[in-house]
Amino acid sequence: MKKILEVRHIEKSYHDNKAIDDLSFCVYEGEILGLLGPNGAGKSTMIGILSTLLKSDGGNIDMFGLSLASNIQQIKSQLGIVPQEIAIYEDVSAYRNVAFFASLYGVKKKELKEQVLKALSFVGLLDKKDELPKTFSGGMKRRLNIACAIAHQPQLLILDEPTVGIDPQSRNHILSSLKILRDQGTTIIYTTHYMEEVEEIADRIVIMDKGVKIAEGTLKELLDIYKDTLIYTFFVEKTQEDIVEKLLSIKGVQQVEIQKNSLKITVSKKWDVLDKIILFFVEEGYHIQKMETEEGNLEMVFLTLTGKKLRD
């Protein structure tokens, strides 16, 4: 596969804080790469560097076969950026917003109207083209932000948490649109705090923590870490402080997490432990209201690698 982006040994510090530490990864043509990490992992710094808003302290980046350091203007014309903060003009029509950003990316006047209307149609806002964004919902503003980033038909689209605080309908529209863009040949880097979004759209995933890449692979490759794992969730009325230690003493129980009115217990499939867990609850006087079973998932992989949940 053709590499659209190659990041090699990038370093970035703010005073004594190392935000990016020897980070390397690749993005291939026509794929969606999910970039995951807890708060403070260095994702936003990396996105800032890729967007040419920040300079790294060391390392090299190639985009479209060109060195970023010496070809910034040529590379920027092929980038589409959807920042975490909505970047549109509230008192200018949706059409004029997209036209303005498209012109900044060098779209010629004779092509401008067609590409602006195409971008608005793609995000489902063509019927709102003459309306002011200040009257839009949060989800509509996010979609307009994406239209502004794709009107010039970039080779690489970078989105930094584009679905924060929006309604489910707009979220679904954005995710569906990104899959269509990928299928049309656009390469996408996507950061989010919603694990289910990455599971739905990402072809490959890079997980960062404290500026370091700690895992990389397809969803299947990462989930293979837990191919021999089951997760039982027991809903109980209350829990005692020492229950975690007692459950972990059962052979085959790997992890116990106390949640509100429930216990999430990760076990190895190699051991037949369900009967032992249920017997434990009975002997300890717990009333099981409900039980759920699931396979090991990306959230569990992330928690194991980082020690945190994605939205902590």
pLDDT at 309: 63
DSSP-assigned letter for residue 85: S
What is the rounded distance in angstroms from the CA atom of residue 5 to the CA atom of residue 12? 18
Strands 204-209 and 212-217: antiparallel
The count of residues in the chain is 312
Q: Smallest Cα–Cα separation from 224: which of 211, 248, 205?
A: 205
Coil/strand/helix, residue 253: strand
Cα angle, residue 54 at apex, residues 53 and 55 outer, rounded to 5°: 135
In the chain, the amino acid numbered 210 is: K
pLDDT in tens, the chain (312 residues): 799 999 999 999 988 888 999 999 999 999 999 998 888 888 889 999 999 889 999 999 999 999 998 999 899 889 999 988 888 999 999 999 999 999 988 888 889 999 999 999 999 999 999 999 999 988 899 999 999 999 999 999 999 988 888 888 888 888 999 999 999 999 999 998 788 888 899 999 998 888 999 889 888 888 787 777 888 999 988 777 788 889 999 999 988 888 878 888 988 888 889 999 999 998 888 888 899 888 767 777 777 676 666 555
Strands 79-82 and 156-160: parallel
In the chain, the amino acid numbered 168 is: P
Q: What are phi and psi of 72, to 5 degrees?
A: -60, -50
What is the rounded distance in angstroms from the CA atom of residue 304 to the CA atom of residue 27? 25
- What domains sit in the chain, N to C, each tagged with a CATH number? 3-220 (3.40.50.300), 224-306 (3.30.70.980)
What is the rounded distance in angstroms from the CA atom of residue 292 to the CA atom of residue 305? 24
pLDDT at 46: 93
